[in-house]
Structure 1
């Protein structure tokens, strides 16, 4: 079966995959500015990219192949084409492939970001899950194949892997804890670091073997920031989706008004 990734030309990244953050979304994975400060080029689900549909569709395909047997699983060359110039991968769905990455990239280190299962469950229900369940977005996703559609399909596929899309079941908390335990037991100690919210620069820099920056550790993507960012992205998407129609509708409305006034 032909895969999307097979249509991509060969790609030789300048740097190998150096770091994978295996923590699920809403566990403090959004420390992209921190990793950039340390010399990494990280990819996070909310990273602005030129062609989001390409990357989102390929991540969805990678999950289908790996977790649902729908095609040949991605190998190192496939993941190199998918990740491109990024040498650190964070957030869903990359975190779901932590075990493959540590085998395909022996030089890769693994960080597990964690918080209590209860606080994680509360956080996803204040952010990601309401976004996934918005009725309007679930309709519009079928009309936007540039970003919204591919992004929602990717996130829903990731949560199918995590909890079979049973977002509101308390068993989802068990699946979260099971994921964390698999990572703890599945990575060699010299390649593994577990970080909790608020740990700051010191354990991260010691693990990565880099100096501690002389600036505060970045704290980003809290609940308010997530929802504000999601709202701004949704607004931009709606404008881009309906803008072509306005070019047709506005002249028609103006013509109708003009005709009505002349008719009087």
Structure 2
């Protein structure tokens, strides 16, 4: 583990994923955390964190980004004390607005709610999210698949406390406090790498992550395929039921 992204969701985590990937790091983002080490996270969140488990989970990863790694960054840092820590931040009002937009998108997207209700991988994802996002609110488990966000004052208080803790715990020479609007130079200087000869990336502007994930992410694409399979099975059962009722009526 070389880089721990301690910045909370909606502070530019998707942008940082692209930037670190461009710089040659093997990055584990939200869906990768769910797919490859989700069972480990569920176990640790329920039973308590152990350094040896965290080392095992991330022994082949260069950088971690987004939930649940932002929330439990300190446990990861305990396992990898030589890693560099990047605290992405932004002003509270725009951050909470973006967080609210993201929560509303999760709730309003009927297709994604169906995925998290009637597919095997989607139901696993729903319980995983319910376990990992307790800082921001409550994720209702099956069959409702809704996220209830805490009020603005509570959420901002969590963010302030989180950022103060990062600044107090991480040695100054291992910490970068950073906004994605600053571009390549401070990030590359901190990591000791050359500045790429291309514009700094930007991702998930306006909280459109679901649309992007459907196009790009293999885990999301797998759940979409499972959705159509589940719907086909349900339709088949419905046709069989109607046919059976018809036979009973004829007899």
Q: TM-score range by the shorter chain?
A: 0.7 to 0.9
Residue 226 (structure 1) shift: 1.2
Partner residue of 1:241?
230
For structure 2, list consecutive stretches of 5 or more residues without a partner in the other structure. 139-147
Partner residue of 2:38?
56
Residue 178 (structure 1) shift: 1.3
For the structure 1 residues 142 and 246, does the alpha-carbon distance in structure 2 shift closer, same or farther, using more than 3 Å as the test?
Answer: closer
Partner residue of 2:141?
none
1:210 aligns with 2:193: yes
Contact in 2 for aligned 1:101/1:108 (Cα 8 Å)? no
Partner residue of 2:97?
122
Q: TM-score, normalised by structure 1?
A: 0.74
Partner residue of 2:145?
none
Contact in 2 for aligned 1:44/1:91 (Cα 8 Å)? yes
Contact in 2 for aligned 1:132/1:156 (Cα 8 Å)? no
Return the alpha-carbon distance in structure 2 between the equivalents of residues 99 and 72 of structure 1.
13
Residue 212 (structure 1) shift: 0.5
3-state DSSP of counterpart to 2:13: coil
Return the alpha-carbon distance in structure 1 between the equivalents of residues 160 and 57 of structure 2.
28
Render the CA deviation track for 1:167-205: whole Å, top value 9, x for unaligned: 141211211121111111211100000111311110110
Aligned ranges 1:1-264 → 2 under 5 Å: 17-30=1-14, 31-47=16-32, 52=35, 55-64=37-46, 71-75=47-51, 77-83=52-58, 85-131=60-106, 141=116, 143-146=118-121, 148-160=122-134, 162-165=135-138, 167-170=149-152, 171-229=154-212, 233=220, 235-246=224-235, 252=240
Residue 163 (structure 1) shift: 3.7
Render the CA deviation track for 1:24-64: whole Å, top value 9, x for unaligned: 111101122221221210011034x8x82x63232222222
Return the alpha-carbon distance in structure 1 between the equivalents of residues 230 and 50 of structure 2.
33
Return the alpha-carbon distance in structure 2 between the equivalents of residues 158 and 133 of structure 1.
21
Render the CA deviation track for 1:102-144: whole Å, top value 9, x for unaligned: 2221221100111111111111111135415768866764543
For the structure 1 residues 129 and 154, does the alpha-carbon distance in structure 2 shift closer, same or farther, using more than 3 Å as the test?
Answer: farther
Return the alpha-carbon distance in structure 2 between the equivalents of residues 175 and 135 of structure 1.
29
Contact in 2 for aligned 1:127/1:227 (Cα 8 Å)? no
Contact in 2 for aligned 1:132/1:152 (Cα 8 Å)? no
Query: In proportion to residue count, which structure has more helix?
Result: 2
For structure 1, list consecutive stretches of 5 or more residues without a partner in the other structure. 1-16, 65-70
Contact in 1 for aligned 2:19/2:200 (Cα 8 Å)? yes
